[in-house]
Amino acid sequence: MSEFKTGLTYETKRIVADSDTAAQFGSGGIAVFATPMMVGIMENAAMNCVGPYLEEGQTTVGTHLDVKHLAATPVGMEVRARAELLEIDGRRLRFKVEAFDQKEKIGEGFHERFIINTDKFLKKIAEKAQSS
């Protein structure tokens, strides 16, 4: 993890499809870009921001979100999400996240992810599934 440093950024883009709308997702009744989809691309940007710097056998998982959805985006418009690594505290990573459509900023906030050992995590999940 020696290559990790604050200031790393990553952007991801997508075109809003009918399946990305609040009406289709079940989070609202209007055919505009759903808040859960916006959060998803913000998390994706944060995950990809640090992914290349992880050691083999590691990944990150999202643990906290504090996000505002500021503006609606219609189907067919491009949305881009940007993540910037603000803080590194051991395995905890804190990001500033933003989302924009072709006209304006549509979302902003903060996101935390934790670096985990993939095999240990999957073993714990399997044990949890067996105990239910």
Annotated binding site for substrate: 62, 113
Nearest to 11 by CA among 48, 59, 52, 50: 48
Nearest to 57 by CA among 113, 120, 100: 120
69 part of the active site: yes
- DSSP character at residue 75: T
CA atoms in the 13 A half-sphere facing the CB of 11? 8
- Written as six digits, the tokens of 68 are 């505002």
Catalytic residue among 12, 21, 60, 69: 69
27 vs 36: CA distance, rounded Å: 8
**Which residues have a catalytic role annotated?**
35, 43, 69
